[in-house]
Amino acid sequence: MQRKILVAVNGSESSKIAAEYAASLAKANGRELIMLYVVDERRATKDLEKFRGQEDSIKTKWEGVIKESVSWLWNNGIRYSSHVEVGDPVEKILEVANQEGVEMIVLGYGRLKGISRIRALASASRTVVESSKIPVLLVPAG
């Protein structure tokens, strides 16, 4: 069975840095990298309403976030797969991690100060850390 590392990406600078870090871990340790982009249900609903009848355009838009994050993987010999899920980001990260049998989840987080830092860590990253039975690695931006 192939060992895997999951990294959640969302197009932010911190998720790009996390993806690069996860890719370096995957390459150094002969692991497959799973790139996951979770579209929050509220955003998906807005996109579906805006692009009614153009579902392929929406999927292409969402997959573009992953492609932007992984364009450099092809040339570095890193095995990877990508997933786009719609739902609650925390639930989908944990669900895909469990379904794929990953050995580590990698998440990025921004370097914030004061109350912003507390709010950010109280969000998705913190909830994944507190809920996961799989080790979680938080990669700071910058």
Look up the pTM and report it. 0.79
Q: Give me the amino acid identity at 138.
A: L
Judging by DSSP bridges, how do beta strands 4-8 and 136-140 pair with one another?
unpaired
Q: How confident is the model at residue 128 (pLDDT cuts 50, 70, 90)?
A: very high
Provide the domain count of the chain.
1
Domain of 17 in residue numbering reads as 4-140
Residue 123 belongs to domain with CATH number = 3.40.50.620
pLDDT digits (tens, 9 = 90+) for 4-56: 999 998 878 888 889 889 999 999 999 999 999 888 777 666 666 665 555 55
